[in-house]
Structure 1
């Protein structure tokens, strides 16, 4: 449990540091790419959940 919390806190810190160093001109394209990846993941999950085993 302590290890999981440690990883979570480190991920928050690392994410904050990385996001704060991204210039504002790159923020929109990067978020667009991240949203596209999320959409692909959701579509894949829906396809897999609809498949009979």
Structure 2
């Protein structure tokens, strides 16, 4: 179970990083939306790792 949570957290982190990188070329409302989604993914990854401890 712990290994599955670690893998899920790693996947969430990687996806949040990709979404954050996409912000470079985006303006306005879309940038805010992508930033919010990336932050939610990063928070999810954090909770998966900290909650498993």
Bigger radius of gyration, 1 or 2?
A: 1
Question: What TM-score does the superposition give when structure 2 sets the normalisation length?
Answer: 0.50
